[in-house]
Amino acid sequence: MIRVAINGMGRIGRLLFRRLVAHPDIEIVGVNDLMNGANLAYLLKYDSVYGPAPFTIEWTTEIVANGAHIPYTQLADPRALPWAALGVDIVLECTGAFTSPDKAGFHLQAGAKRVLLSTTGTAGIPLLIYGYNHHLLTADTPVVSPGGCMTNCATTVLSVLGGIGIDSVQVHVIHSYSSRQELVDGPHAEFRRGRAAAESIIPVPVDLALSLERLFPHLSNRIATVTTRVPVANGALADFSFVMKDEVSVDEINARLRQAAATTHRGILSYTEDAIVSLDIKGDPHAAIVDGSLTSVVGKQVKVFSFFDNEYGYTTRMIDWILYWKQFL
């Protein structure tokens, strides 16, 4: 059993908890967050996107889930966490606050063997996307960034179509609203993020291009990205606008994506031509669900659309990482 701890019980932390608590190869041995324990147990038990938990969850002086008693701490400084005493193999760092080598290293100082971020870390932390460059992991790598949900989707599509020859790409991710937006209009450093999330289509800046250029350096200064948040609670649709080096056909693009979904990227990329909408991919484990019925070509310009569940698909990749890292523990 791989012994994991979760630091930060937001959307990703809680979904990871739900998915890992009954996993046959992974054991949750500790959880840390600042919220009230009874409140956390309630949020783990009832979820507005994925519904009630399929197992019992209770709060005593610790979290009791699916029969397992899991210690719960409420410490702001990761260096004070009991990871050594709990024998933690991997900390899932889900606060979004400890994403530099020094700060992620606090978990190592507390006794954890490895740290897996739930976002893109700073430049000093390896950016390794499962299914693309995860094989670059070495035994002496203590902290890994698996990218974000958008990075995983975009990397998957770019890696498959890169074999044809990409000259440049613009990526527009139409994304569900998130906790970093406001429920009603209010002040925010980014004015648009302060507008009511469930009432408008809201353009939001995103640093996705920086991550993609780290992963595809040959496309440096040839990638542009933007996201708009829309009034749904879950799901996203990535709109890729490619300029290819040579003219291609819809059939050629779709054939390559379909083939990858069945072979090299099986379990990570999914391909369909059904008339799906975002609700249809809720709970889908793939990083990218390409809708081939929407692919279009005008000369060297190519449009590809890919859905993804920004929470479930992403936590699946984190679970892939936990299992892959086992060989180095």
How far CA 327 is from CA of 20, 43, 281, 321, in Å, comes to 19, 33, 32, 11
User: Whole-angstrom Cα distance, residue 186 to residue 195?
Assistant: 6
Q: What are phi and psi of 239, to 5 degrees?
A: -105, 110
pLDDT in tens, 5-42: 999 999 999 999 999 999 999 999 999 999 999 999 99
How far CA 107 is from CA of 51, 60, 93, 259, 267, in Å, comes to 32, 26, 9, 41, 31
Residues 153 and 92 placed together within one structural domain of the fold:
no
User: Whole-angstrom Cα distance, residue 72 to residue 64?
Assistant: 10
Residues 153 and 287 placed together within one structural domain of the fold:
yes
Residues 155 and 7 placed together within one structural domain of the fold:
no
Residues 172 and 99 placed together within one structural domain of the fold:
no
- Within-domain flag for 126: no
3-state secondary structure of 262: helix
Give me 130's structure tokens: 């499962």
pLDDT of 158:
98
Q: Which residue from 128, 132, 130 is spatially nearest to 141, judged by alpha carbons?
A: 128
pLDDT of 56:
96
- Within-domain flag for 316: no
Q: What is the CATH number of the domain that holds 290?
A: 3.30.360.10
- Within-domain flag for 317: no
Per DSSP, 207 falls in state -
- Within-domain flag for 295: yes
Count the Cβ atoms, other than its own, within 10 Å of residue 247: 12
Residues 206 and 69 placed together within one structural domain of the fold:
no
Q: Domain containing 79: what range?
A: 2-118
Give me 301's structure tokens: 């310009």
pLDDT of 27:
98
Which of 65, 149, 157, 318 is catalytic? The answer is: 149
Check if 94 is active-site: no
pLDDT of 21:
97
Give me 140's structure tokens: 């002496």
Last residue of a domain, one of 118, 133, 157: 118
Give me 90's structure tokens: 């991997």
Give me 183's structure tokens: 């429920």
Q: Which residue has the tokens 């009630």?
A: 52
Supply angle C-alpha 19, 11, 276, rounded to 5: 80
Q: Cβ contacts of residue 36 below 8 Å, gap of 6+?
A: none
- Within-domain flag for 287: yes
Residues 104 and 211 placed together within one structural domain of the fold:
no
Residues of the chain predicted below pLDDT 70: none
Residues 169 and 106 placed together within one structural domain of the fold:
no
User: Whole-angstrom Cα distance, residue 15 to residue 168?
Assistant: 35
Q: Calculate the CA dihedral of residues 105, 206, 179, 53 and round it to 10 degrees.
A: -70
Distance, C-alpha 206 to centroid of its chain:
14
User: Whole-angstrom Cα distance, residue 117 to residue 107?
Assistant: 11
User: How many distinct structural domains can be found in the chain?
Assistant: 2
Residues 62 and 202 placed together within one structural domain of the fold:
no
pLDDT in tens, 270-281: 999 999 999 999
Last residue of a domain, one of 68, 97, 118: 118
Residues 153 and 297 placed together within one structural domain of the fold:
yes
Residues 294 and 206 placed together within one structural domain of the fold:
yes
Supply angle C-alpha 223, 146, 162, rounded to 5: 40
Q: What is the CATH number of the domain that holds 114?
A: 3.40.50.720
Residues 211 and 98 placed together within one structural domain of the fold:
no
Which H helix or E strand runs over 101? helix 101-109
The answer to whether 161 and 167 have CB atoms below 8 angstroms apart is no
User: Whole-angstrom Cα distance, residue 132 to residue 288?
Assistant: 13
- Within-domain flag for 189: yes
- Within-domain flag for 13: yes
Supply angle C-alpha 24, 25, 27, rounded to 5: 90
What predicted TM-score, i.e. pTM, was given to this entire model?
Answer: 0.96
The answer to whether 5 and 75 have CB atoms below 8 angstroms apart is no
- Within-domain flag for 291: yes
Residues 102 and 241 placed together within one structural domain of the fold:
no
Pairing mode, strands 68-70 and 143-144? unpaired
